[in-house]
Amino acid sequence: MSQNQQSGDEASAESESLITTDVQPAETNRRSRSATILETRDLSVYYGDDRALTDVSIEIPEHSVTALIGPSGCGKSTFLRCLNRMNDLIDACRVEGEVTLRGKNVYDEDVDPVALRRQIGQVFQKPNPFPKSIRDNVTYGLEVQGKSATDEDVERALKGAALWDEVKDQLGSSGLDLSGGQQQRLCIARAIAPDPEVILMDEPTSALDPVAASKIEDLIDDLAEEYTVVIVTHNMQQAARISDRTAVFLTGGELVEYDDTATIFEDPADDRVEDYITGKFG
């Protein structure tokens, strides 16, 4: 097993210095639904002396929705942030083990974290559009890459986020003027504009009302046709509704069980998972 160890300081410095360096694209051909796109091997994360994640090994199939569930503090968000090196931005964070995207270790020195994050986009818990126009929000990711965004790019991303019909006549309006649910879909449009391979979502509906949340859930299902979605959710029924595979993390940052979602919710193998999802624990 190869290991990567780096301090948050080093990672942050690298993040700044390599900002203009594109990560070399891995294989571009779309594989079968069962092919692994993301893999972690013995992934551990420390915040100072505290271990937040313990030897997590997992294979995430492409064009699927993988849900990460578990009680607060179990490490699922930490795990998510490792996948596109968002943890690099936390000074005290130290990562051991491997995260590979199509076989390429994303912690290798020749990988530019910023470029990586265009391949592995992220949507956060609270909608966080920039204080810019709807159009500028969508084109931001492309322009950071030095690419000019066309009207077609904007339309494609907004259609991909199921927002086009609602905003096509107001692309110059501020993204902050949209409703919460629309803002979150705008953030999804921003994430998919650079055509990533993977979209990470960290509780993307927890700040939304049920109707807005259901639109996002429908959208996630559609997104999985083109992208690989990894989602952290506290809502187990949401995980059951929208995901193909579910990973259950428990306290101590341990991945306890990872299987087809139907198996997890109908017949989990581990008693601790059974106790957690039925509410007997946590």
Residues that bind other proteins (CB under 8 A): 236-237, 240, 264-268, 273-274, 277-282
CA distance 138 to 134: 6
Closest distance between other proteins and the C-beta of residue 224, in Å?
Answer: 22
Residue ranges of alpha helices (H) inside the chain are 8-17, 76-83, 113-119, 134-144, 151-160, 164-167, 180-192, 210-223, 236-242, 261-266, 271-277
Tokens describing residue 45: 């994360």
CA distance 280 to 51: 25
Instruction: Tell the burial category of 101 from Cβ atoms under 10 Å away from its Cβ (0-12, 13-18, 19+).
Output: buried
Residue 140's CB is within 10 A of a number of other CB atoms, namely: 17
Closest distance between other proteins and the C-beta of residue 215, in Å?
Answer: 21
Closest distance between other proteins and the C-beta of residue 265, in Å?
Answer: 5
Nearer to other proteins, 159 or 272 (CB): 272
Nearer to other proteins, 140 or 281 (CB): 281
Nearer to other proteins, 32 or 237 (CB): 237
Closest distance between other proteins and the C-beta of residue 243, in Å?
Answer: 13
Nearer to other proteins, 4 or 235 (CB): 235
Closest distance between other proteins and the C-beta of residue 82, in Å?
Answer: 28
Angle subtended by helix axes 134-144 and 151-160, to nearest 10: 110
Nearer to other proteins, 46 or 281 (CB): 281
Strand partners, 61: 36
Closest distance between other proteins and the C-beta of residue 229, in Å?
Answer: 21
Closest to 162 in 3D by CA, of 228, 91, 220: 220
Handedness of CA 36, 14, 92, 95 (dihedral sign): positive
Intra-chain end-to-end CA distance of the chain, in Å:
33
Nearer to other proteins, 147 or 280 (CB): 280
Nearer to other proteins, 25 or 282 (CB): 282
Using an 8 Å Cβ cutoff, are 82 and 232 in contact?
no
CA distance 267 to 249: 17
Closest distance between other proteins and the C-beta of residue 4, in Å?
Answer: 36
